[in-house]
């Protein structure tokens, strides 16, 4: 049995991307043609852990986007104050 880290690295080298499906326990791999039966068996073996990893990545991206938006809003407010002649 392959370690999850090694499995994900092997899939990345083959150009395979994984996404969580519509169902809570669903995974989608693209391109399908690159997924061998052996890789699919390994994915099934580690499915729950892979889903946690993929969802964790999505959460980090969301937090980063939210943080960038907060910086933008802060900067916009700051420039608005300067534009009104009120340095802060």
pLDDT at 39: 92
Exposed, middle or buried, 50 (CB in 10 Å: 0-12/13-18/19+)?
buried
Q: Is residue 12 part of a domain?
A: yes
Q: Is residue 59 part of a domain?
A: yes
For the segment 39-58, what is each residue's pLDDT rounded down to a tens digit? 999 999 999 888 888 877 76
Q: Is residue 25 part of a domain?
A: yes
Contact between residue 27 and residue 43 where contact means Cβ atoms under 8 Å apart:
yes
pTM of the predicted model over 0.85: no
Angle made by CA atoms 60, 53, 27, in degrees to the nearest 5: 115
User: How many domains are contained in the chain?
Assistant: 1
Distance of alpha carbon 44 from alpha carbon 68, whole angstroms? 36
For the segment 8-39, what is each residue's pLDDT rounded down to a tens digit? 889 988 899 888 866 667 888 889 899 999 99
Q: Is residue 88 part of a domain?
A: no
Residue predicted with more confidence, 78 or 43: 43
The first and second tokens of residue 35, run together, are 């997924």
Residue predicted with more confidence, 40 or 72: 40
**What single DSSP character describes residue 31?**
S
Sign of the Cα torsion 24, 15, 7, 55 reads negative
pLDDT at 34: 92
Q: Is residue 18 part of a domain?
A: yes
pLDDT at 88: 46
């Amino acid at each position: 049995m392959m370690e999850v880290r090694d499995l994900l690295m092997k899939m990345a080298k083959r150009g395979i991307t994984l996404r969580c499906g519509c169902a809570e326990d669903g995974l989608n791999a693209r391109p399908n043609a690159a997924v061998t039966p052996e890789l699919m068996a390994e994915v099934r073996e580690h499915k729950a852990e892979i889903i946690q990893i993929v969802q964790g990545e999505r959460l980090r991206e969301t937090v980063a986007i939210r943080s960038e938006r907060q910086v933008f809003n802060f900067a916009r407010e700051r420039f608005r104050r300067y534009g009104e002649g009120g340095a802060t």
